[in-house]
Chains A and B, each alone.
Chain A
Amino acid sequence: MSAIPANGWLSRVKSAMSKTRDSLAAPVNRVFGRGVFDDETWDELEEILIGADMGLTAATEIIDRIRRDALRHPPGDSGELKEMLQAAIAAEMIPAPILGKHDASLTVIFLVGVNGTGKTTTAGKLARRFADAGGTVVIAAADTFRAAAIEQVAVWADRTGAYLVKHKRGGDSAAVAYDAAAAAKARGADYLIIDTAGRLQTKAPLMEELKKVKGVLTRELPEAHLLSWLVMDATTGQNGLAQATAFAEKIGLDGLILTKLDGTAKGGIVVAVARATGLPVVMLGTGETEADLIDFDSNNFAAALLD
């Protein structure tokens, strides 16, 4: 895989967030800049975390902990306090190498999530990344439900030179996965990306269908390195917890991709998700171009969340 420049993450997140940084920086810097650490300071810091969708439980616990630490080791100045908070947020996230260590010749990326989070766009961006690294990529158009979903992913396959396996709309997504597995084997592909239909986690028959698709992949590609990633929209509120829990329970998850970080939403829900499920965030979607998919780094994420 092509290495992302070491300084790439922060600069891209920052440039993606540059339009909003002014307004976002204001409350944080106001709180830190006051230089007084009274009840009001802690309440305002907690609100900033809640405002980032971290949820009340995670926000309260993190602030309480920092507050205790600050009593024992008083921060010299507000900059130091900010670093403590940043480190505490980063520590909640589980570090994980993107693809993990493995010897398999084929890596399968199974993309799942609720409707409209950006699975198809992420599939396209992943295909670009893998192709740029010199890999042979097969994409499975396993969203056979949404109108024109197949056409949409076909455009991405075309742009990135990936081989597309598709059936007709309304077809069986497990059958698409089956054919895609065969195609990946026949072509000696390095990567197989499965784009699935969005589904709310409360729809049991649709969740069952997803399990069936994964079953086909594990059965047909026993030697492959299979990763199931939940694609989550950064604007998601507390329902993100229910999403991650339900998908993890039903099909088993290996990680999260957080999309749409180029807006004003901070995506703090992934902190709550990491605490509840132990799932790592692997990548971030930061825009609409093919290159806007970057590796996750917990320190940079925590910094961006507070900046």
Chain B
Amino acid sequence: MFDTLAGRFTDILAGIRGRGRVDEKDIAEASRQIRLALLEADVNFKVVKDIVADVKNLALGESVLKSLTPGQQVVKVLRDELARVMGESAVQLKIGKKPDVILLTGLQGSGKTTAAAKLALLLRREGKKVLLVAADTYRPAAQDQLVSLGAELNVDVWRGKTGQTAIDIAAAAVHGESGTQPDVVIVDTAGRLHIDNDLMAEIVALKSAVKPGHILFVADAMIGQDAVNQASAFDDALDFEGVILTKLDGDARGGAALSIKRVTGKPIMFVSTGEKPQDFEVFHPDRMAARILGMGDVISLIERAETAVDESEARALAEKLERDAFTLDDFLSQLEQISKMGGLNDMISMLPKHMLPKELRGAEVEESGLGRTKAIIQSMTSQERQTPRLIDGSRRARIARGSGTTVTEVNGLLKQFDAMRKMVKSAQGKSKKRGWPAGFPG
């Protein structure tokens, strides 16, 4: 998308330069392209209208027309504008009086129970004592689910007694009946449709019973146009403080984030980014803006790299890459580093898709096999590690025997290695041709 969006704008802008002025037709065409990009990302069509009206002039503004790479400059202007709409910076959750109560609400299947556990872990890491409250009395085994997650994370869970209502359970927990004296009480509630009057009345009653300091609306990043209906109905009923956006580890562009912020004025506060309990982060509007425009989350990637990679090692590696002398030995040491950065799949998922070779697009690399991968490389001779194309059929069989793996796995590794080299080469090719694309932090 980023490529195509920037490319389409390059064409429009080339026309403008030729004539030396911007006319109505240019503005209409620019608006059309922006509309297309935002609709493809699931931004609500009414919100798209507003945003297009706001940015169409920016897109053909002076900073763009004077730029050497105007197509990319447009995307940067757009990204900045979307980030501005979603909030200038990350919004903190401020925990106050003890016990402070956080109420989670949302539709069925949006990921409330998982988010409750992840939020508990995040707050505990900040030194808070947390109590989880299992107040979803409707979905079969929902309470068991939270109890089980709490046990895994070593966080207390209060589920009340069988037959108690959600309000009884939550009120008891908030009034100290659990005996655990928490700093924060997180109440997980049943999923409900925003048009289900009975259940909406119940959550409003629950709010007045436990007087939460924070109400967070949990929304699935994959939702489409309906995001605005859901969010505004919940906001009207509960006046929530902010939003947790879940399932962002997929490839949904997440236009719902923009829609929700625009119609409720409430910020996205957290994002859930994976199946593991620690895959939960503070929301960054600039990163989300890039994602909506299909640019990937390069900033997060760079931040992680900075904390995980030793600078001199990185320079040595860069030199090797430059000379195309990257070997399986280097691959081995990279694997170690990659796992320090949260895993290869995490890294791949943060890159814009167009930077990846076909083999890695939408793909995921087996990470549990890291140990086996190491064993395979360690079963190679140093000559083989330096020159992988030497590894023929009989060598593959030997390596498989030596490492206790199969020839298929050895083949898989060699293919993976090849794909990685291609990825590096194509990224290099791009940076040589055009410099690091504008709009990316460099």
Chain A residues within 8 Å of B, Cβ to Cβ:
19-20, 47, 50-53, 55-56, 114-118, 145-149, 151-152, 154-156, 169, 200-208, 233-240, 242, 246, 260, 262-266, 269, 288
What residues on A are CB-neighbors of B36 within 8 Å?
Answer: 56
B298 to chain A, nearest CB (A): 18
| Distance between Cα atoms of A169 and B145 in the complex (Å) | 11
A-B complex: 7 closest residue pairs judged by Cβ atoms: A237-B224, A116-B109, A204-B364, A237-B42, A155-B140, A148-B145, A151-B141
A114 to chain B, nearest CB (A): 7
What residues on A are CB-neighbors of B110 within 8 Å?
Answer: 116
**Of A50, A116, A260, A262, which is within 8 A of B45 by CB?**
A50
**Of B139, B229, B250, B366, which is within 8 A of A239 by CB?**
B250
Do the beta carbons of A264 and B226 come within 8 Å of each other? yes
| Distance between Cα atoms of A286 and B362 in the complex (Å) | 32
Question: Is B256 part of the contact surface with A, judged by Cβ < 8 Å?
Answer: yes
Known: A115-B111, A233-B109. A202 touches B229 (CB 8 A): no
29 sampled A-B residue pairs with Cβ under 8 A? A19-B197, A20-B195, A51-B225, A53-B42, A56-B36, A114-B247, A115-B247, A118-B108, A146-B145, A147-B145, A147-B146, A147-B149, A155-B140, A201-B362, A202-B364, A203-B275, A204-B363, A204-B366, A205-B364, A233-B220, A237-B222, A237-B224, A238-B42, A239-B42, A260-B108, A260-B193, A263-B107, A263-B193, A265-B223
Do the beta carbons of B141 and A148 come within 8 Å of each other? yes
**Of A145, A148, A156, A265, which is within 8 A of B226 by CB?**
A265
What residues on B are CB-neighbors of A156 within 8 Å?
Answer: 140
CB nearest to A262 among chain B residues: B193
Do the beta carbons of B107 and A235 come within 8 Å of each other? yes
Question: Is B148 part of the contact surface with A, judged by Cβ < 8 Å?
Answer: yes
Do the beta carbons of A152 and B111 come within 8 Å of each other? no
Do the beta carbons of A116 and B108 come within 8 Å of each other? yes
What residues on A are CB-neighbors of B197 within 8 Å?
Answer: 19
| Distance between Cα atoms of A305 and B251 in the complex (Å) | 26
The count of chain B contact residues (Cβ–Cβ below 8 Å) is: 55
What residues on B are CB-neighbors of A118 within 8 Å?
Answer: 108-109
**Of A202, A204, A236, A262, which is within 8 A of B224 by CB?**
A236
What residues on A are CB-neighbors of B349 within 8 Å?
Answer: 202
Do the beta carbons of B247 and A200 come within 8 Å of each other? yes
What residues on A are CB-neighbors of B145 within 8 Å?
Answer: 146-149, 151-152
Question: Is B252 part of the contact surface with A, judged by Cβ < 8 Å?
Answer: yes
| Distance between Cα atoms of A288 and B191 in the complex (Å) | 11
What residues on B are CB-neighbors of A116 within 8 Å?
Answer: 108-111, 220, 247
**Of B139, B149, B230, B255, which is within 8 A of A152 by CB?**
B139
Of listed A202, A237, A238, residue having the most chain B CB within 10 A: A237
What residues on B are CB-neighbors of A260 within 8 Å?
Answer: 107-109, 193
Do the beta carbons of B250 and A265 come within 8 Å of each other? no
Do the beta carbons of A56 and B39 come within 8 Å of each other? yes
What residues on A are CB-neighbors of B226 within 8 Å?
Answer: 53, 234-235, 263-266
What residues on B are CB-neighbors of A52 within 8 Å?
Answer: 225
| Distance between Cα atoms of A240 and B249 in the complex (Å) | 15
B211 to chain A, nearest CB (A): 29
Do the beta carbons of A237 and B144 come within 8 Å of each other? no
What residues on B are CB-neighbors of A114 within 8 Å?
Answer: 222, 247, 250
A13 to chain B, nearest CB (A): 15
**Of A115, A262, A264, which is within 8 A of B109 by CB?**
A115
Question: Is B368 part of the contact surface with A, judged by Cβ < 8 Å?
Answer: yes
| Distance between Cα atoms of A283 and B222 in the complex (Å) | 21
Known: A50-B45, A117-B109. A269 touches B224 (CB 8 A): yes
Do the beta carbons of A235 and B220 come within 8 Å of each other? yes
CB nearest to A201 among chain B residues: B250
What residues on B are CB-neighbors of A239 within 8 Å?
Answer: 42, 222, 250-253
Question: Is B53 part of the contact surface with A, judged by Cβ < 8 Å?
Answer: no
| Distance between Cα atoms of A292 and B227 in the complex (Å) | 23
Known: A20-B195, A148-B148, A237-B222. A202 touches B249 (CB 8 A): yes
What residues on B are CB-neighbors of A236 within 8 Å?
Answer: 222-224
CB nearest to A204 among chain B residues: B364
| Distance between Cα atoms of A264 and B44 in the complex (Å) | 14
A158 to chain B, nearest CB (A): 9
Q: Mark B194-230, 1 if CB is under 8 A from A, else 0.
A: 1101000000000000000000000010111111011
Question: Is B305 part of the contact surface with A, judged by Cβ < 8 Å?
Answer: no
Do the beta carbons of B224 and A238 come within 8 Å of each other? yes
Do the beta carbons of A56 and B250 come within 8 Å of each other? no
Of listed A114, A235, A266, residue having the most chain B CB within 10 A: A235
What residues on A are CB-neighbors of B227 within 8 Å?
Answer: 235
**Which B residues between 236 and 279 are near A, CB-CB below 8 angstroms?**
247, 249-253, 255-256, 275
Q: Mark B134-148, 1 if CB is under 8 A from A, else 0.
A: 000011111011111
